[in-house]
């Protein structure tokens, strides 16, 4: 009889799980993406071992951008502060809900003599289609696709599944790392904190 009770309970719980719709992700709400966002569900907050430290020289890189030209970190040495925004993957909830916000605050970056470089491990065609939904972006979007995730790996933010962490790295004009936020992949970093970090560079 106990077995029967257990069976009844199992059947009822399974029915609840199967019948009820899965929870929606609170991010990527914009109708701009229609139903094209892949719902990843909650992921392990971080899944890599950081290889860079505050005060160290940022590892250099040269990556192709969606607009065609190659972009090197070294191009900005002595000229601009740089914010690297690594996001895990195109067409995923939080990532699709991050850069469009940065896109309307160019003046905040300009005010702190900074540029923003958006980086993912996706290839250029995917990045092209995805960022087209965001409107015209003012900052370069770079592809760390091949060799796969090489730049993310240099910084120690390549996750074990081949995506990168959601990370913000602020690099000053001397090429020195001044701020690192390897953020919980499931959350959007606070814009306010990033702006405060840029203010500290003055």
Partner 1 sequence: MKKLSVYLWIVVCFVCFVCFAAFSVQAADPPAVGGQLPDFKLPAPKSSTDKNYLGVSGIFFSGPFTVPQIKAKVVILQIFSMYCPYCQKDAPHVNSLYNKIENDPALKGKIKLLGIGAGNSDYEVGLFKKKYQIPFPLFSDGDFKIHKLMGEVRTPYFIGVKINPDGSHQVFYSRLGAIEGNEKFLNEIITLSGLQ
Dist. CA 137–CA 116, nearest whole Å: 11
Ramachandran bin of 136, using left for φ above 0, alpha for ψ from -120 to 50, beta for the remaining angles: beta
Ramachandran bin of 57, using left for φ above 0, alpha for ψ from -120 to 50, beta for the remaining angles: beta
For the bound state, the minimum distance from the C-beta of residue 90 to partner 1, rounded and expressed in Å, comes to 15
Tell me whether residue 135 or residue 162 sits nearer to partner 1 (CB atom): 135
- Residue ranges in contact with partner 1 by CB under 8 A: 1, 4-5, 8-9, 11-13, 15-16, 19-21, 24, 26-27, 29-32, 97-98, 100-101, 103-105, 133-135, 188, 190-192
Dist. CA 107–CA 81, nearest whole Å: 14
Tell me whether residue 37 or residue 71 sits nearer to partner 1 (CB atom): 37
Sequence-ordered list of residues with C-beta below 8 angstroms from that of 14, at least 6 positions apart, any chain:
none
For the bound state, the minimum distance from the C-beta of residue 149 to partner 1, rounded and expressed in Å, comes to 25
Tell me whether residue 80 or residue 106 sits nearer to partner 1 (CB atom): 106
Active site residue 95: yes
Catalytic residues: 95
């Amino acid at each position: 009889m106990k077995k029967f009770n257990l069976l009844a309970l199992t059947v009822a719980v399974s029915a609840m799980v199967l019948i009820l719709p899965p929870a929606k992700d609170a991010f990527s709400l914009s109708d701009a993406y229609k139903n094209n966002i892949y719902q990843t569900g909650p992921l392990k907050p971080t899944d890599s071992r950081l290889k860079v430290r505050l005060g160290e020289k940022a590892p250099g890189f040269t990556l192709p951008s969606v607009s065609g030209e190659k972009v090197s970190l070294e191009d900005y040495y002595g000229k601009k502060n740089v914010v690297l925004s690594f996001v895990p993957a195109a067409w995923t909830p939080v990532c699709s809900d991050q850069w469009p916000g940065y896109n309307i605050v160019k003046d905040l970056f300009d005010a702190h003599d900074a540029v923003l470089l958006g980086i993912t491990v996706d290839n250029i065609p995917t990045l092209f289609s995805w960022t087209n939904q965001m409107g015209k972006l003012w900052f370069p979007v770079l592809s760390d696709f091949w060799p796969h995730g090489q730049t993310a790996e240099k910084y120690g933010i390549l996750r074990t599944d081949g995506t990168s962490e959601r990370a913000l790295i602020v690099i000053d004009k001397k090429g020195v790392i001044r701020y690192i936020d390897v953020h919980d992949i499931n959350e959007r970093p606070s814009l306010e904190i990033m702006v405060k970090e840029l203010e500290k560079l003055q």
